[in-house]
Amino acid sequence: MIHLHDIRYVRLGTPDLEGSVRYATEVLGLEVARAEGKSVYLRSDSRDHTLCYFEGDPRDHTAAFEVDSPEELDQAMAQLEKAGYAATRGSVEESEKRYVREFINFKDPSGNSVDLVYAAHHSGRRYFPSRDAGITGFSHIGLRTLNARRDEEFWTKILSAKVSDRIGEAPLLRIDDVHHKIALFPSSYPGVQHINHQVESIDDIMRAYYILLERQIPIRFGPGRHPTSGAKFLYFEGPDGMIYEYSTGVRLITEEDEKTYRPRNFPAVPSSFCMWGAKPDIPEFKT
């Protein structure tokens, strides 16, 4: 099994690089780490970057996860190819653009692009937000799936994810103590479905809510609270239709908890997404 140690970054193509970066700084509260050619790297914590916008197709998405050694990277490539999934090793130039020592790229069964990276860079500078958003770090992503049961098996049998809970067909997957780092939502096409940043408190969520209202940025879901992870949340629309989420208070499932924990299965109804009664305006969350 390929062990995923943490989520690392997301790369998103955009036809409007300047506008996307403006949104990421003025609305999301990320910090520009650097601009290189047609790419801009943004920080949300101590990592070198957690989001990279590059000039390109807005459907071009890649999510990255870390492994701990070059041997793990080699083994991952061999295991993927043995299972019938083509993997390619990144060149030195491509690795430099990702600020990692080495990486491989593959696609999951639905066609989602995934980087496995080794020795990703950290920053020697403290994260300094462009606005007081209260962000504590990049935490998880939603991925689109064309077949949730098939993809759940891929992420749990070939990769090291574990099911925390399910909402209808959608599994919420953990790779460490955090309730989920990956969520697979049924869709008709692949790609990153939403990007989550953790914030310090519900106060940060409510401050963001009023800022979004003032700027007339579409709020797609919340404020609310997930009955699965227990997190308070707010989802809102970003450039090229990408959905961003702030959340706080996510549940942890420790190694000790795993001895007795069993995944729960929630029906695909609005109350399974929000225990406070908020209704989602997100296609993959609607029933």
pLDDT at 287: 66
For residue 72, the one-letter residue type is E
The residue length of the chain stands at 287
Q: What is the CATH topology of the domain spanning 6-118? A: 2,3-Dihydroxybiphenyl 1,2-Dioxygenase; domain 1 (3.10.180)
Residues 135-280, CATH architecture:
Roll (3.10)
Boundaries of CATH 3.10.180.10 in the chain? Answer: 6-118, 135-280
197 Cβ contact list (under 8 Å, min separation 6): 28, 44, 133, 135, 136, 137, 138, 139, 244, 245, 246, 247
pLDDT per residue rounded down to tens, the chain (287 residues): 999 999 999 999 999 999 999 999 999 999 999 999 999 999 999 999 999 999 999 999 999 999 999 999 999 999 999 999 999 999 999 999 999 999 999 999 999 999 999 999 999 999 999 999 999 999 999 999 999 999 999 999 999 999 999 999 999 999 999 999 999 999 999 999 999 999 999 999 999 999 999 999 999 999 999 999 999 999 999 999 999 999 999 999 999 999 999 999 999 999 999 999 999 999 999 86
